[in-house]
A and B are shown apart, each in its own frame.
Chain A
Amino acid sequence: MTCGSDLHLLGGYIPFMEKGDVLGHEFAGEIVEVGPDVKAHRVGDRVVVSFIACGKCHYCHRREFSLCDNTNTNPAITESLWGHAVGGCFGYSHALGGNAGSHAEYVRVPFADIGAFTIPDAVSEERALFASDSASTGWMGADLGGVRPGHVVAVWGAGAVGQMAARAAILLGAERVVVIDRLDYRLRQVEKFVGAETLDFERTNIHEELRELSGGRGPDVCIEAVGMEAQSSPYDKVKQQLRLQTDRPTAVREAVHACAKGGSVFVLGVFAGFVDKFPLGAMMNKGLTVRGAQMHGQRYIPMLLDRMARDELTTEHLATHTMPLTEAAEGYRLFKEKEDDCVRAVFLPSSSS
């Protein structure tokens, strides 16, 4: 399946791709072969797969699986970039291990007992597919963002991750959940399938609206699900193109500014390097907690599959374009250009010609 973070790779914003690399990190499928150390799965199992984690290191024991110490086979790159290496990921450049991704007929899943989860009979593969990343990422934003009953929650971005974050916030008991975007068809999806309120940032002053709908306080939890290619002013776009900043943090800035005093901002959107004009003063003086992470899928996927089986979490509406893998380039084009009301393109290797 396509993911917004794949666009960062295709756009050259994460410059660690090589010719022949295989994209794809959000996937489900059927096991055709198991390695000798795999105990939890058998050939024929339907599974959904998360990021790559060993299950034995300090970070895996803390259930912070995307921080795994042992699965990024190129640790030097991210040690230079970020000070430390994070865990491995499928199809996400050589900075995260250079592991071949899922846009293929077959994919090798290292540490399959840790990162692959059997799909319950009651859940379709189409629904379970989103537990792989979108739903687990969204849930993490609401969970680690600290959503509690009575909270007002704002989510920037009405893509699959933003929608799943909003749904998670509702299921965790938030009093009001508001999703912000500019694409009408995605906002309509939020209202119809997620049950959250919506705001169009091209027609509304977001800060004013969020303040008033939260009784003047601002949202208790702000979840950013947009990432480094956010809709931005020419200033940010020019700076990014000139490599004076690597990422465009428009939604993060707005979230920090809008957030209630003492509130929490969780950054789910993928960022690679450095940003300009981060509102550090607002963050510090308002006593905010600002967190982010690549998703700790193993922590959430079993629970998400259970909720999917109970129809608490539905995802089929997100798969707006299902097509053969041979048409992946067109799928990515539709996804990138937001054409034909595309939310996610799902590729089926088996229907390739």
Chain B
Amino acid sequence: MRPSTRAAVLLTATAATAVAARRLVAARKEPPADRIGRTHAVTVERPYDELDGQELPDPLRELGDAVTVELREAPGDRGTEIHVRRVDDRVRAGDVRRALREAR
């Protein structure tokens, strides 16, 4: 094998090893945001009592029964936390995050 060919093979092997290693590490971690049952949350500057029992903002209401929504009083007088949990794959995690951003 000529040196340049050898170098190319070595580079390719190194790159492949690096990719494989990255995938291995990624596989060990649970998928960050798109796991069913994963909770996504935002905090809004509104008192819990003011939001509890109110109709949800449109972006969250439009997700329908593909999600469950829970309100919690945020600690430290920070307002209210809105926690949204996907119950199945009718909506994607990105849709939930987008709805939360718009609802805020």
Residues of A within 8 A of B (CB): 148-152, 175-176, 202-205, 207-208, 211-212, 214-217, 220, 234
Contact = CB atoms under 8 A, between A and B. Distances in A.
B76 interface: yes
Nearest to A152: B75
Contact of B77 (A150, A152, A204, A207): A150
Contacts of B82: 216
B30 A212 contact: no
Contacts of B78: 150, 215, 217
A175 B75 contact: yes
B75 A216 contact: no
B33 interface: yes
A175 B76 CA distance: 8
Interface string B13-37: 0000010000000001110110000
A205 B76 contact: no
Nearest to B80: A215
Nearest to B39: A212
B28 A202 contact: yes
Given A150-B78, A151-B75, 4 more contacts: A176-B75, A204-B29, A205-B33, A212-B83
Nearest to A202: B28
Contacts of A152: 75
B42 interface: yes
B30 A204 contact: yes
B72 A215 contact: yes
Nearest to B100: A216
A10 B82 CA distance: 49
Interface in B10-65: 18, 28-30, 32-33, 38-43
Nearest to B77: A150
Contacts of A150: 75-78
A289 to B, nearest CB: 17
Which 3 A-B residue pairs are closest in the complex by CB-CB distance?
A150-B76, A215-B81, A205-B32
A178 to B, nearest CB: 14
Contacts of B77: 150
Contacts of A175: 75-76
B74 interface: yes
Nearest to A149: B76
25 contacts: A148-B76, A149-B76, A150-B75, A150-B77, A150-B78, A151-B76, A175-B75, A202-B29, A204-B30, A205-B33, A207-B32, A208-B32, A212-B39, A214-B41, A215-B42, A215-B72, A215-B74, A215-B78, A215-B83, A216-B42, A216-B82, A217-B43, A217-B78, A220-B76, A234-B18
